[in-house]
Amino acid sequence: MPDGGRLIVALDTVEAERARAWADAVSPHAGLLKLGLEFFLANGAAGFRAITGAPVFLDLKLHDIPNTVAGGVRAVLPLRPRMLTVHAAGGSAMIRAAHQAARSAGADGPIILAVTVLTSLDEAALHDLGVAATPAEQVLRLGRLAIESGADGLVCSPLEVAMLRQALGPAVKLVVPGIRPDGHAAADQARTMTPARAVAEGADWIVCGRPITGAADPGAAAAAIAAAIQ
Ligand code: C5P
């Protein structure tokens, strides 16, 4: 069990006050809080610093030339995010540059997670991009490349977690969004899994947003999910 628990709560909003209220409510039950691109572009470092209660996963999905990505990672090190994301499609040198920049902060540096194939891309969309592989093949190819290039782990869909755990072994960190408690509407997440099932299939952490932040009592919703994966 990771320190603080396996639940990551996604605080997806541009409103700093709303994010702070959610953070206060769910922090007792969350291993991490996730801030994404929309929050960070709207509120910047000051908004990030106002989110307290649990370590923060900064989900910026960086993708640029190695020098620029390394600079981006170094730029957020003073905020002490616990996790950062990059796109594996940026290639080996870019992933390695992100890893080295993160390690420049020593043991306090964030772990680097790679995103393989966006779950919004199906086989036809990959074909349009010139990728002949199936999504599963491409996920595995990019996942291996990322880990060999210094990434600590991967963000992956519920459908990929068992395959990646089996292929890449126990040390690779797997972080899994697309989580829906039993009976909860899937919203725009087409491929979902319950929290307990995702952990049983090999997830180190699960990411859950709207089933918690959209609940009448976000603290209670987070507590119920945390209890289901203890
Ligand atoms: O609200 P919901 O539980 O769907 O939130 C899921 C979170 O995980 C969002 O912040 C979303 O950006 C992120 N995510 C995802 N699917 C991926 C990668 C990340 O839903 N493939």
pLDDT digits (tens, 9 = 90+) for 44-87: 999 999 999 999 999 999 999 999 999 999 999 999 999 999 99
Contact yes or no for 37/87 (Cβ under 8 A): no
Sign of the alpha-carbon torsion through 187, 3, 33, 212:
positive
Q: What pLDDT, on a 0 to 100 scale, did the predictor assign at position 182?
A: 79
Residues 156 and 191: their CA atoms lie apart, in Å, by 11
**157 pLDDT tier (thresholds 50, 70, 90):** very high
The 3-state DSSP class for residue 113 equals strand
pLDDT tens readout for residues 169-208:
999 999 999 999 976 766 566 678 999 999 999 999 999 9
Other Cβ atoms within 10 Å of 185 Cβ, number: 11
- Integer angstrom CA distances of residue 190 from 82, 175, 180: 28, 18, 11
Pocket lining: 208 vs ligand 1, CB cutoff 6 Å: yes
Residue 184 sits at the vertex; the CA angle it makes with 182 and 188, to the nearest 5 degrees, is 125
**119 pLDDT tier (thresholds 50, 70, 90):** confident
Catalytic residue (one of 20, 61, 165, 184): 61
Per the model's pLDDT, the better-predicted residue between 148 and 185 turns out to be 148
Residues 56 and 207: their CA atoms lie apart, in Å, by 12
Mean of per-residue pLDDT scores for the chain: 95
Q: What pLDDT, on a 0 to 100 scale, did the predictor assign at position 124?
A: 93
Pocket lining: 10 vs ligand 1, CB cutoff 6 Å: yes
Q: What are the two backbone dihedrals, phi and then psi, of residue 9, each rounded to the nearest 5 degrees?
A: -100, 120
Active-site residue, 61 included: yes
Atom of ligand 1 nearest to the CA of 213: 1
Pocket lining: 119 vs ligand 1, CB cutoff 6 Å: yes
Please identify which residue in the block is written with the tokens 């725009």. Answer: 188
pTM for the complete prediction? 0.95
